[in-house]
Amino acid sequence: MANQSQQAELSASLTLIVKTVDDPEKPVDAQQFLQAATKWLDALVTFATDQGRQVRWEIAGLQRSSAIVEVLPVDVTTGIIASDLAKKWESAVRSIEQDGIPPESLTPKSVRAIGDFVSSISDLSVAIKTGEEPTPHQISATTQKRVMDAIAALPPEEYQLRGTVRGRLAVLNSWNPRERWFRLQLPLAPDKHVKCVYSDEKLIEELGETFEDLLEVTGDLHYHVGDAWPSYIEVDRVRHLPKTPSSSIDQLIGSLKLPRGIDSVAYVRSLRDAE
């Protein structure tokens, strides 16, 4: 039974093998390895999620020779090894590698995650070993180019419109002259804070005087496809909207035409008693 379990783990695992380009025997820089491993795991997580699979990627083995990490997809709910997931991921990468066209089962999000991984390993020799396959799959320069071609052919993730948005100034960052921004809280979506980037330093003083007031921001609005609210705004102009004066009860009553011989207090009481 133990052998069957070990065999299942072996067939379902994915192994990342990282070496230096100039000398395969030379130790790999830890920061480079961790960056590559992180991007690789991010790609695996995105792929599994887009396939409708809720799994956790467990470390099945680490080796000091070169830099090798082996992971295993395990179903979060059942604890059963997702035996087919590793092969599906490797097959998707090979499909892109052939002609730069991702398979229909691969979402744009997964393609971009794979792109993040392969673009992070330019200075390394990286291979992926799937299950019991005797020969690791080398991530070559051709692989990188075809993945980038596939990403370039994807529909845009975001689009840009010229427009105006109203909201309240929630956060103001003005200390860094190379990155000036503030966050705008949207009245119709209070939990949504839109980052607004600007370059005109004259706006700093103006924004400082309008904290938590209503603003009208004009500029280039950047939207992620499918989102109702902009992800960020490149600001050209900010207009401080005047506060609407709140009327007191005395002012409201004073605007009424009262019956002859009765003051405002008596009039309110008469309305109350009539009810």
pLDDT of residue 123: 80
> What is the block-wise mean pLDDT of the chain (275 residues), using blocks of 10 residues?
60 88 81 90 92 89 80 90 89 91 88 92 88 86 93 86 88 69 84 85 68 82 86 88 58 51 57 49
pLDDT of residue 255: 46
**How far apart, in whole angstroms, are the C-alpha atoms of residue 147 and residue 100?**
6
pLDDT of residue 27: 81
pLDDT of residue 182: 83
The residues near 203 (Cβ < 8 Å, ≥ 6 apart) are 180, 235, 238
For 50-80, how does the pLDDT look when each residue is reduced to its tens digit (9 = 90+)? 888 889 998 888 876 678 999 999 998 898 8
pLDDT of residue 7: 63
pLDDT of residue 247: 47
The phi, psi pair for 255, rounded to 5°, reads: -80, -10
pLDDT of residue 142: 92
Q: What is the pTM assigned to this prediction?
A: 0.60
**How far apart, in whole angstroms, are the C-alpha atoms of residue 10 and residue 22?**
31
Domains of the chain: 8-152 (no CATH), 158-240 (2.40.50.140)
pLDDT of residue 147: 94
pLDDT of residue 218: 92
